[in-house]
Structure 1
């Protein structure tokens, strides 16, 4: 009886070891970290390539599930806009394909465009949210220190603001200063600029002294998300 008990004690650690190995074998793989990349976009054959700003590396762009970024790029190119710019969040994968440095799997589009500032935007890193619209023309840059309202024929107006985070990723910025009543609402929604054709990831609504104006918006480099 004593020998049987001793044998069982010797076997138990083996079962424990097998269980540990099994847990390791079937454990879910570690999810790759996401990163944000901005850069120039070009087309080679049936592939779209992203060259990040101030870099020489090139990555093949791949759409994530439910994404239409490559279709948007094709539409912009079809309109004769050959110099394209993109700002995306996604995951990098290594690639064995010659001539490229990997594949970038897009999980979020901030904007794609063929006009306007891209890698040369001097304000990108300090802006949290950039919003703009037409008829009438307006633009708002939200920074950590305040917001700046620009309208044609008028001086830029700098205002303090209050921010409210709402459900489903919506945000509200409001200001009642310098005789202005201003509210900016942004919400996660594909938004295409009717004049430039650029596609951004936020819809925007500006309410200024009772006047309602609509447009598009995107997160700048200073916005964490």
Structure 2
């Protein structure tokens, strides 16, 4: 099977300097009739409600995509029943027809994440702590006790929604392998992808989700 390869040509530093190149108020609508949205989930009288970030309106959630969002929300809800959710769906007359669930987590600040709409992908794991932020300008790898690495990368599409990002800069072989599969992070979030960070043969596992610059 032919593997699609795309070389991302990037400047190593700074990764997020060109924020003005992105329209941060634009919601992605790459899927016909559907919109990528972030907001708060709240349980009201046994019904799940969705309130988009920084908007007063609330919408009844209809899980038309079979995402099991009701069960996921019940698992994570705090005492007030409030959760952050990153979803894709359609808003129709006071109802959200939810088609895809990217992430659900306990958070009071996620709506104001300054990096979200610049990112293609974010992945992270624990014990030891690591994280990867990927944009069209490159990727930044952070690991406990080490300086952040800003690197260019090559993306390989592997089929079935799987892909990997790799770099051989700094005399290291670095790979991030990503697959579309429900992943429960130890910090309490539920994400739509599993992730493996491989550096010179050492493997660290975690979860991942698409940022606002990509929503397939």
Report the TM-score range of the alignment, normalised by the length of the smaller protein. Answer: 0.7 to 0.9
Deviations 1:163-219 (A, max 9, x none): 1112101111000001221100111111111x2221111111111111111111000
Asked whether the 8 Å contact 2:40–2:51 carries over to 1, the reply is: yes
Checking the alignment, whether the CA contact within 8 Å between 1:115 and 1:198 is kept in structure 2 is no
Specify the alignment match of 2:84 in structure 1: 85
Q: 1:217 aligns with which of 193, 198, 208?
A: 208
* Cα pair 1:115 1:196 within 8 Å, conserved: no
Residue aligning to 1:97: none
Q: Which residue of structure 1 aligns with residue 72 of structure 2?
A: 72
- Aligned to 1:150, the other structure's residue is in SS state strand
Q: What does 1:6-85 correspond to in 2, within 5 Å?
A: 33-77=33-77, 80=79, 82-85=81-84
The separation in 2 between residues aligned to 1:129 and 1:65, in whole angstroms, is 22
**Bigger share in helix:** 1
In structure 2, the CA distance between the partners of 1:134 and 1:162, relative to structure 1 (3 Å rule), is same
Q: Given the two structures, how large is their TM-score scaled by the length of structure 2? A: 0.81
Alignment map for 1:140-219 (pairs within 5 Å): 140-193=132-185, 195-219=186-210
Rounded Cα–Cα distance in structure 2 between residues aligned with 1:199 and 1:33: 25
2: CA distance, partners of 1:83 / 1:179: 45
- Give the CA RMSD over aligned residues: 1.8
2:96 equivalent to 1:104 = yes
| SS state at 1:205 partner | strand
Q: CA deviation at 1:158?
A: 0.4
1:137 correspondence with 2:129: yes
In the alignment, structure 2 segments of 5+ residues that lack a partner are 1-30
Determine the C-alpha separation between the residues in 1 that align with 2:150 and 2:125.
18
| 8 Å Cα contact 2:132/2:140 also seen in 1 | yes
Name the count of aligned residue pairs.
186
Residue in 2 that maps onto 1:125? 117
Q: Is the 8 A contact 1:82 1:114 kept in 2?
A: no
Alpha-carbon offset, residue 65 of structure 1: 4.5
Residue in 1 that maps onto 2:20: none
Pair 1:81–1:172, CA change in 2 (3 A): farther
1:223 match: secondary structure: coil
User: What's the TM-score once normalised by structure 1's chain length?
Assistant: 0.78
**Would the alpha carbon gap of residues 116 and 148 (structure 1) be closer, same or farther in structure 2, given more than 3 Å must change?**
farther
Distance in 2 separating the partners of 1:91 and 1:151: 38
Sort the Cα spacing of 1:171 and 1:81 in 2 relative to 1 into closer, same or farther, 3 A. farther
